[in-house]
Structure 1
């Protein structure tokens, strides 16, 4: 503001005149600022000061200021401020916008210091789950950025992960595995995530990790389930028959999951325990402490954080007698540098305790075991083997009675850029957005039907949900697992991995598909047709 040139006050109160001139100057400046849609921070303060100044003195001060004040300077200040805001907004947009690859300024990221290419594939295996994600450090060469969108990412990936690998019938998964393996020259798979122990999500694993014909996995991540929960998972599928090669592996992993996975020689097996309030796995705290999981010194670097809001440091870890590492509320930060990276964040949704207890009681009644004896008996590997080979019908009937159409424990997975609010992206055939919303959320067979469960789910992913653009419907789009009136996330693309032409299941549910389309979002069904393959390609930038 200009210096105030006071004149002799009419009433001789010098201090009142000076305050009146200051208030008058603020009024003049505020009037000018409002013409530009701006406001002065000090306006409220000076309005309160005016209450102690007489109307006559204030009116005289206004006339004096209007005659002596340099209004052109204030107009210039407002114009300069708006121009700076415009340039700042353009600069922010240039850094953080999500743009299609054809956009004129898609690749103009002048202050970029870290660039990742990310491709993800939802493979057309039919009724099942098989998701592949890749990450590649693209450096600072714009030509490499552009070409990466058209490249087959699987041979070139610095880091590759898989979320579930199975199908019914198994032929769809085997065919997809062969395609992946033959393109992955290094034969390296950095992480395998298993959502739950159901045939149509795991039966392809022996082919994917075959010692001679498959990939060599570094880290396997799966939910931490006790003996009872794995038998419950078997009971859900026991009513349906399966091909012998799929059934053998399924029985083995229910009886001894760690031993079964160890045969594939992973460097480490990580089990994620539920950390939800009121549903913490009691066995977690009975295990001895151990070092948390770490990245392979000879492979792409990654680190783990404790998941939560805000994120915590390295979470505590426990070790099972078989050598697996058990953690709670964990996230994996895959990065080549500190500027930016990729987040893989699991969440374990446990089956309700009352349903688990009802299942145990039903088995005890049907097998004429003493009441309350099932849990202790199930600790024996021989008893578990006997149950899955000789008592399929019993387990199936017990599951139907205790769970009905509900599902057992399942592990979801979020995949998206770290620090997404600072990142920008170019996405092949995508709509323009003012932020790098490129995240993906897979749900396995999680049951997201009641408001309390949905709220807990949203709390766990509170920092990620706004960045999700692609959402995998749970249990292939079943109405028994998802209520469109309780939306988990405002996704742009909703995907169901399902084979709808089947007499046993009818996925995805027509009502869910109708609700998604009515909301204005896109829906995509990935089935056994090769044309249904879903590929999402993007380049993500972080400023230095």
Structure 2
């Protein structure tokens, strides 16, 4: 207390206690106006009984004139806001009910209702995930029907995350099924996690000019010339069908030019986390318009994943005509509240490992020391590395990286504003929360605690809402340490066909750790019965 004025019949200590008691009275009074009970109320009576009525009245009169009430008002407003947010979150967590539940459809009129279906297709060793969105309006019959129907034909928005398998026959069969059911032949977005053959070899079939889909936007990670040769090195020691090999080589040599052959309206390249202008020359490129949807299909826009809901991403134009961005998330069917979020994240290989790889290639091919980076700027040299010298590139990768997989684009797919959303799932049993988010991780490496920490920081607003988590590199123990991850997914999935004994797809110790945590594990392989379908209706109550 700064008030040391002594009133009649009191000493300084009594007066100080009287002022403290007056402050407690005032804060309790303010708290009650917000419907709150101040902690001060629990102490007021014990203070008050030692102070005379006259002294208390004098202190209260003074403190009403000098007390900084605005600061406490702000505190009360913040407490109320926090409580409202907690109530909304609790409502969302208890709102996800099985479709058979009698209360499932008795909601307030919703501001927005989206049907979301996703399919992890049984392609064997590889990756092929299809997601769809449909605006279901206010028609309850349509909501119910959507949970029992195939979403591919009627989807307003469809995206694919990776499209490949080893051998290629697995993905070709699944591609034919998707294309046959998609009468509009429209694919809104294709996300490429990385450039391994078993994740991309199906793309020429998926986007075939005559027998495939017409893609609007392709999103892939940024890899410079060096990074792409590194990416080739991991699979360079193996071989596949010639058509898959040729496409794989073309993507490594010229990814943007190769993808442009399929006629997308735009190609978006996402820079790795922490990349700066010194590494890629980002700020030396001319500015570009941020990515956004075209005139057809469900509307979406790109926005800065670290700049709030309205901030556009910083975008540049590459010499090949692609749009390169540092940070981005894609808001689909976004309104004042609601919509869907697709949020990528790219982690780059360490500089030390990259330098070791370059040095190893120089030694193996007897190139002058320090010449690798200049040589791979030449397309002819890149083609020679992935055709004539693929075994040397593979040996250099093994020496520099060992069993690690690097540079992969992860993707979060889930409702925008999930804390206020409810959802109804097909064939659901009981639920403790409203989480319906999905996380794909490609072949990202999550063995390094710092890498995991950065990943979780990037997805800090989404991690609590992930219910389905795709294990990286088909569940290999070389890429994932379950003790490092804090995501509390309900379902962990490995898209794997156990043909590579070295990689252990999926690793038994990872499966055991998942089940020990009380979560479910699911392996999707080449068997049609292993197909994973997740169907839901997501709504934002009015």
SS at 1:356 equivalent: helix
Measured in 2, the distance between the counterparts of 1:90 and 1:227 equals: 48
Spell out, residue by residue over 1:363-410, the C-alpha distance to the aligned partner (whole angstroms, 9 max, x if none).
111111111111011011111111111101110110111111011210
Q: Write out aligned runs for 1:231-310 (5 A).
A: 231-276=229-274, 281-308=279-306
Spell out, residue by residue over 1:57-89, the C-alpha distance to the aligned partner (whole angstroms, 9 max, x if none).
99xxxxxxxxxxxxxxxxxxxxxxxxxx99x96
Task: Decide which of 532, 535, 538 is 1:534's aligned counterpart.
Answer: 532
Spell out, residue by residue over 1:162-219, the C-alpha distance to the aligned partner (whole angstroms, 9 max, x if none).
0000000000000000000000000000000000000000000000000000000000
Structure 1 residue aligned with 2:505: 507
Q: 1:279 to 1:349 in 2, by over 3 A?
A: farther
Q: Write out aligned runs for 1:327-366 (5 A).
A: 327-335=325-333, 337-366=335-364
Measured in 1, the distance between the counterparts of 2:503 and 2:129 equals: 21
1:412 aligns with 2:398: no
Structure 2 residue aligned with 1:483: 481
In structure 1, stretches of 5+ residues that fail to align are 1-10, 59-84
Measured in 1, the distance between the counterparts of 2:233 and 2:291 equals: 32
Coordinate RMSD, CA, aligned:
2.9
Task: Decide which of 195, 198, 210 is 1:197's aligned counterpart.
Answer: 195
Structure 1 residue aligned with 2:518: 520
Larger Rg: 1
Aligned positions, number? 491
SS at 2:118 equivalent: strand
Measured in 1, the distance between the counterparts of 2:458 and 2:511 equals: 26
Contact 2:316–2:325, Cα closer than 8 Å, also in 1: yes
- TM-score normalized with structure 1 length: 0.85
Spell out, residue by residue over 1:469-510, the C-alpha distance to the aligned partner (whole angstroms, 9 max, x if none).
000000000011000111141111000000025445420000
Structure 2 residue aligned with 1:166: 164
Structure 2 residue aligned with 1:182: 180
SS at 2:319 equivalent: coil
Measured in 2, the distance between the counterparts of 1:165 and 1:281 equals: 29
Q: 1:506 to 1:435 in 2, by over 3 A?
A: closer
SS at 1:253 equivalent: helix
Q: Write out aligned runs for 1:79-478 (5 A).
A: 93=91, 97-276=95-274, 281-308=279-306, 313-335=311-333, 337-433=335-431, 435-478=433-476
SS at 1:264 equivalent: coil
Spell out, residue by residue over 1:147-172, the C-alpha distance to the aligned partner (whole angstroms, 9 max, x if none).
10001000010000000000000000
**Which deviates the most, 429-438 or 389-398?**
429-438
Structure 1 residue aligned with 2:61: none
Q: 1:367 to 1:134 in 2, by over 3 A?
A: same
Measured in 2, the distance between the counterparts of 1:458 and 1:280 equals: 25
SS at 1:539 equivalent: strand
Contact 1:229–1:408, Cα closer than 8 Å, also in 2: no
1:53 CA drift (Å):
1.8
**Which deviates the most, 206-215 or 389-398?**
389-398
Spell out, residue by residue over 1:119-153, the C-alpha distance to the aligned partner (whole angstroms, 9 max, x if none).
00000000000000000000001111111000100
Structure 2 residue aligned with 1:3: none
**Which deviates the most, 281-290 or 416-425?**
281-290
SS at 2:152 equivalent: helix
Contact 1:96–1:422, Cα closer than 8 Å, also in 2: no
In structure 2, stretches of 5+ residues that fail to align are 1-8, 10-14, 57-82
Measured in 1, the distance between the counterparts of 2:278 and 2:139 equals: 47
Spell out, residue by residue over 1:9-32, the C-alpha distance to the aligned partner (whole angstroms, 9 max, x if none).
xx9xxxx9xx9xx99xx9xx99xx
Measured in 2, the distance between the counterparts of 1:123 and 1:440 equals: 15
Contact 1:159–1:189, Cα closer than 8 Å, also in 2: yes
1:288 CA drift (Å):
1.9
Spell out, residue by residue over 1:498-527, the C-alpha distance to the aligned partner (whole angstroms, 9 max, x if none).
002544542000000000000100000000
